[in-house]
Amino acid sequence: MRKSLSFLLSGVALAVAASTAVAGERVLEFKLVTKPIDLKVIEAANVEGQTVVSGKFFGVAVFNDGRIGVKEFVNTSDLLKGSGPFFGYSTYTFEEGSITARYTGSAKDGKSTGEYTILSGTGAYANATGTGTIESAPNPFKGVNLLNIKLVVKTSGS
C-alpha cells in the first residue's frame, strides 16, 4: 500500500511539473509587413477628408533570428484626413502554433500605435491570453505597412 501511495504521489508530482513546464509567459517581438488584400474605402458625405476603411489584410512577421510567421486579419478605421481610431482581429500563425487577438489603436501624422488583447491560441500557445503593442516603423516601401510588434503571451499549460 505504501509503495502504491508513493507511486501515485510521484505520478501526481510529475504531472504537475510537466504542466508547469509548458505554462508561463513568452515575449514575441518582430517586424510585421502588411498589405491589404480586399479593401473598401467609403468617403463620408459632407465631411471633407472623412473616410471609413474596412478590409482584409495579410502580413509576414520576421523575427531577428530569422524565424517567420504569417498574419491574416480584418481591420476597420475611421479616419479624418488620415488620422483616427482603428480596430481589428488578427490571427498570427507560427511554426509552433497560432495566436488570435483583438487590437485597437490610432493613426496620426502617418504613425500608428495600438494595443493587443490576446483571445486564444493553438499548439504551443493553446489557451493563450495576454497583451501586446503595435507601433509603426520607418517604412521605405509603397503600398505596405511596416510595424514593430510585441506580444506578451501567457499560457496555462492546460
> How far apart, in Å, do the first and last CA atoms of the chain sit?
31
Determine the Cα–Cα distance for residues 91 and 102; give it in Å rounded to an integer.
9
Question: For residue range 107-127, what is the model confidence (pLDDT) as tens digits?
Answer: 999 899 999 999 999 999 999
Could you give the dihedral angle defined by the CA atoms of residues 115, 120, 125 and 131, in that order, rounded to the nearest 10 degrees? 20
pLDDT at 158 over 90: no
* pLDDT tens profile 48-66: 999 999 999 999 999 999 9
Share of the chain above pLDDT 70, in %: 85
Contact call for residues 146 and 134 (beta carbons, < 8 A): no
- CA angle, 16 then 20 then 23, to 5°: 145
Q: What is the mean pLDDT of the chain?
A: 88
Q: How far is CA 128 from CA 21, 23, 66, 70, 82, in A?
A: 15, 10, 24, 18, 34
Can you list the domains of the chain with their CATH numbers? 24-155 (2.40.350.10)
Hunting for cell 510567421 — which residue is that?
69
Q: What is the pTM of this model?
A: 0.82
Q: Which tens digit of pLDDT belongs to each residue from 15-61?
A: 333 333 357 999 999 999 999 999 999 999 999 999 999 999 999 99
